[in-house]
Amino acid sequence: MGSMNPVNWRERVPVWKAIEASPLPAGAPSEKAKIVIVGTGLVGLAQAIDLGQRGHDVVVLGRFDFIPLGSKAICFSKRSLDILDRLGVGEQSVERGVVWNVGKVFWKEERAPVYQFDMLPVKNQKMPGFINIQQYYLEEMLIARAMELPNVDIRWGHDVTAIDPGEGSVGVEVASAAGGYHIDAEWLIACDGNKSTIRELMGLDFEGRVFEDNFLIADVKMKGERPSERWFWFDPPFNPGKSVLLHKQPDDVWRIDFQLGWNIDREACIRPENVDPLIRAMLGQDVEYEQEWYSVYTFQCRRMARFVHGRVLFAGDSAHLVSPFGARGCNGGFADIDNLGWKLDLILRGEADASLLESYNEEAIATADENILNSTRSTDFITPKSKISTIFRDAVLELSGEVPFAQGLVNSGRLSTAVSYSGSALNTPDGEDWQGKGIAPGSPALDAPLDEGWLLERLGGRFVLLTNGDPGFAVPGVETIDLSSISNAARALERHDLTPGAAILIRPDHYVAARWKSPTAAAVAGALARAKGALPS
Amino acid sequence: MKLVTSPNLANADGVYEKLIALHHGLDEEESMRVNARLILLLINHIGDADIVSEAIRHAGLGTQQN
Ligand SMILES: Cc1cc2nc3c(=O)[nH]c(=O)nc-3n(C[C@H](O)[C@H](O)[C@H](O)COP(=O)(O)OP(=O)(O)OC[C@H]3O[C@@H](n4cnc5c(N)ncnc54)[C@H](O)[C@@H]3O)c2cc1C
């Protein structure tokens, strides 16, 4: 049995909104569950909604009986918004958040940006390139959505203290203020964050690189007429030799992120009297603002060697950590649960073998590796580790004001976009020459407007055969959507290069699995089987 | 091997002279800065990651890491 005296987390972690602690479940002291998710952070909540919407009974265990105050993540990518939309909170998030597409990079005292980018190069999609929103607002929306699903049972203040991973099930010991109990879970998804209890209890690795630098987050409330864009400075007069990042959040809250360097007093630097001069130097001596949240962080890039360990599956920060430049942390975590949800669903329904999870391991690791690679490169550009590295960095910034090519080398963070799984075993390689057009297997379908609504909305969360014309056959387990029967589908057809008669098979996570200029029932069935983990025949 | 390593430049002595003249009167820091600019301009002009990688590898021969 779990311990009877769990930690009082409210004394250790600042609380944004208290939630009543959950009582002992009806099944205590020992119950059985199909799916146990550990963690009520953004990733655990999103996973619970995904599996709940697919009709499964889900138990979510969270050690906190509150939503924490510290808003770590604020930037959410278009890809995450598409996922959140499928989970029922996309529109709300966009409405509540601050929409932005453009990022500008400044150097020294120059007023004109040395570089500028657009996170939504293809327009006419439902979701914008990015939104900024306080993490607690998004958590609150996900909680409300999860509570609409009667089969999702979130247990607040229930702390996992021990696990026993077995062949047929995973034993879970839970401590709560109401007492301890045991769950015998068929599957356990560890969304328990970067200090993952589950990972530590299982003695699993978490290798990577630690960066020797400190960054100050000053979330301040102030009125101001600045555009909702991401502004980044290299070596500005108000933080000489270092970087500064400015982001707008809802409710007139602005996030200012100051690079501080390595040898600093971490306690002292978040005292208001020490933050104040930095803010005034940047925004003017007479600026009026209120402190919202100050914190100092260092960062690491790490990942587990494998995310799948028998019946224990890791997702989000428990499995991988990146530096914040590029907003790839939580956005990467949402990619995990989007990938894992439909696969576990098929396995639980007996429509796929448990070996399909191997593709989660591969695809989620491909995503994590791309995120780690990009955020490591950004970090090395933003905080050069040697004199010569600084010289090259400054040469790039200087040249970017003189010749166009150098702008492409300016790296203030390569912001999160969907990662392609071009080498995935679930893809059926093209049999025809698509001449580089459309969306190849292993990449996500591209949104486009339809008569009413949007393509990605229509796709939902199941296998879809998207066609241009009636294919003349139906394949069990696949819904056919004939775009030629929908008005205003020209952009959707063009974006996927769907010439008359052509078709693409799209996975429940909106990734393209296969495509044909002239499909046959057998070819589609074969590609479907392969996307569900069967070996190609 | 795509990197050209046989003689490939007319008036090589003249170009070399210009390279040295570029650094005339500069302190070490300035020279490093100018070299960095030059390398970046040339890399972009070459425009082939394989060739640049071969050149990077060759340039590193004889250093501690290679
Ligand atoms: C300064 C900063 C800025 C960032 N900005 C961004 C950004 O703009 N965009 C972005 O995408 N990412 C950003 N990130 C990263 C992002 O915050 C994380 O990737 C994200 O919060 C991870 O979510 P998670 O649900 O995996 O983990 P967490 O949010 O850490 O949640 C873990 C949960 O597990 C629970 N838990 C832990 N152990 C147990 C246990 N034994 N029993 C029960 N429950 C347990 C915890 O209570 C918690 O609820 C930022 C990070 C930092 C530090």
Residue A311 CA to ligand 1 centre (angstroms): 22
B32 neighbourhood in chain A, CB within 8 Å: 387-388, 391
Query: DSSP for A332-401?
Result: HHHHHHHHHHHHHHHHHTTSS-GGGHHHHHHHHHHHHHHHHHHHHHHHHHHS-SSHHHHHHHHHHHHHHT
Helix axes A329-348, A42-53, angle to 10 degrees: 30
Q: Is B12 on the interface with A (CB under 8 A)?
A: no
B39 neighbourhood in chain A, CB within 8 Å: 392
- Interface of A to B at Cβ within 8 Å reads 387-388, 391-392, 394-396, 398-399, 403, 405-406, 409
| Any atom of ligand 1 within 6 Å of the Cβ of A316 | yes
Separation of CA A14 from chain center: 24
Q: Nearest to residue A22, comparing CAs of A178, A152, A142, A146?
A: A178
Looking from the CA of A157 toward its CB, the CA atoms found within 13 Å total 23
Please report, to the nearest 10 degrees, the dihedral formed by the alpha carbons of residues B51, B53, B57, B58 taken in order: 20
| Any atom of ligand 1 within 6 Å of the Cβ of A127 | no
pLDDT of residue A381: 94
Residues A82/A510, Cβ–Cβ less than 8 Å: yes
> Which two tokens mark A376?
């490591």
Q: Which of B30, B31, B40 to mutate to test the interface with A (most CBs of A within 10 A)?
A: B40
Helix axes B28-46, B49-59, angle to 10 degrees: 140
Question: Which residues fall within 8 angstroms of residue A67, CB to CB, at 6 or more apart?
Answer: A15, A16, A17, A19, A136, A139, A140, A143
| Domain definitions of chain A by residue range | 9-70+135-204+306-368, 420-537
| Domain definitions of chain B by residue range | 25-60
Q: Which of A386, A387, A390, A391 to mutate to test the interface with B (most CBs of B within 10 A)?
A: A391
pLDDT of residue A305: 98
Select from 3.40.50.970, 3.30.565.10, 1.10.443.10, 3.40.30.120 the CATH code of A420-537.
3.40.30.120
Q: Considering only alpha carbons, which residue of chain B is nearest residue A395?
A: B37
| Any atom of ligand 1 within 6 Å of the Cβ of A39 | yes
> Buried (b) or exposed (e) across A483-503, using 16+ Cβ within 10 A?
beeeeebebbbebbbbeebbb
Hey, is A136 helix, strand or coil? helix
pLDDT of residue B66: 56
Q: Give the integer Cα–Cα distance in Å for B22 and A135.
A: 53
Q: Render each residue's pLDDT in chain A as its tens digit; 537 residues.
A: 444 567 899 999 999 999 999 999 999 999 999 999 999 999 999 999 999 999 999 999 999 999 999 768 999 999 999 999 999 999 999 999 999 999 999 999 988 999 999 988 899 999 999 999 999 999 999 999 999 999 999 999 999 999 999 999 999 999 999 999 999 999 999 999 999 999 999 999 999 998 888 999 999 999 877 889 999 999 999 999 999 999 999 999 999 999 999 899 999 999 999 999 999 999 999 999 999 999 999 889 999 999 999 999 999 999 999 988 899 999 999 999 999 999 999 999 999 999 999 999 999 999 999 999 999 999 999 999 899 999 999 999 999 999 999 999 999 999 999 999 999 999 999 999 999 999 999 999 999 999 989 999 999 999 999 999 999 999 999 999 999 999 999 999 999 999 999 999 999 999 999 999 999 999 999 999 999 999 765
Secondary structure of A207-231 as H, E, C letters: EEEEEEEEEEEEEEECCCCCCCCEE
- How close does chain A come to B36, measured CA to CA in Å? 6
pLDDT of residue A324: 86
Nearest ligand 1 atom to alpha carbon A327: 9
> Which two tokens mark A71?
């808003």
| Identity of the residue in A395, A406, A409 whose CB atom sits nearest the CB atom of B33 | A395
Residues A437-480 have pLDDT tens digits of: 999 999 999 999 999 899 999 999 999 999 999 999 999 999 99
Q: Is B33 on the interface with A (CB under 8 A)?
A: yes
Farthest-apart Cα atoms in chain B, separation:
38
Which run of H or E residues covers position B39?
helix B28-46
Asked if B36's CB is within 8 angstroms of A395's CB, the reply is yes
> Which two tokens mark A240?
């000489």
pLDDT of residue A303: 97
Q: Nearest to residue A294, comparing CAs of A262, A321, A268, A265?
A: A268
A399 neighbourhood in chain B, CB within 8 Å: 37, 40-41
Residues A175/A183, Cβ–Cβ less than 8 Å: no
> Which two tokens mark A234?
């290299």
pLDDT of residue A267: 93
Question: Which residues fall within 8 angstroms of residue A228, CB to CB, at 6 or more apart?
Answer: A98, A99, A100, A132, A248
Which of A12, A49, A63, A304 for a ligand 1 pocket mutation test, highest count of atoms within 8 Å of Cβ? A63
Please report, for residues A139, A266, A291, A447, A494, the alpha-carbon distance to residue A214 in angstroms, rounded to integers and kept in the order given: 27, 8, 20, 39, 47
Q: Which residues pair with residue A233 across a beta bridge?
A: A106, A244
Amino acid at A516: W
B63 neighbourhood in chain A, CB within 8 Å: none
Q: Nearest to residue A381, comparing CAs of A444, A325, A299?
A: A325
Backbone angles phi, psi at A152, to 5 degrees: -105, 120
pLDDT of residue A2: 44
pLDDT of residue A500: 98
pLDDT of residue A537: 57
- How close does chain B come to A362, measured CA to CA in Å? 27
Backbone angles phi, psi at A261, to 5 degrees: 100, 180
Q: Which residues pair with residue A189 across a beta bridge?
A: A37, A313
- How close does chain B come to A395, measured CA to CA in Å? 6
Question: Which residues fall within 8 angstroms of residue A287, CB to CB, at 6 or more apart?
Answer: A222, A279, A280
Residue found by looking up tokens 């990619």 in the block: A335
A9-70+135-204+306-368 matches A420-537 in fold: no
Amino acid at B49: A
Question: Which residues fall within 8 angstroms of residue A372, CB to CB, at 6 or more apart?
Answer: A208, A301, A302, A303, A320, A322
Task: Compute the C-alpha angle A36/A367/A429, nearest 5°.
Answer: 110
> Which two tokens mark A511?
């990734």
pLDDT of residue A19: 97
The structure's pTM equals: 0.95
> Which two tokens mark A187?
């599957």
Please report, to the nearest 10 degrees, the dihedral formed by the alpha carbons of residues B26, B32, B34, B37 taken in order: 180
Please provide the size of chain B in residues. 66
Sign for the pseudo-dihedral over CA of A227, A230, A234, A239: positive
Sign for the pseudo-dihedral over CA of A342, A346, A352, A357: positive
pLDDT of residue A536: 65
Q: Is B42 on the interface with A (CB under 8 A)?
A: no
* Top CATH class, A9-70+135-204+306-368: alpha beta
Please report, for residues A66, A224, A226, A248, the alpha-carbon distance to residue A251 in angstroms, rounded to integers and kept in the order given: 21, 11, 14, 9
Nearest ligand 1 atom to alpha carbon A159: 42
| Any atom of ligand 1 within 6 Å of the Cβ of A40 | yes
Q: Give the integer Cα–Cα distance in Å for A373 and A425.
A: 22
Q: Which residues pair with residue A220 across a beta bridge?
A: A254, A291
> Which two tokens mark A45?
């909540």
B22 neighbourhood in chain A, CB within 8 Å: none
> Which two tokens mark A75?
């930037």
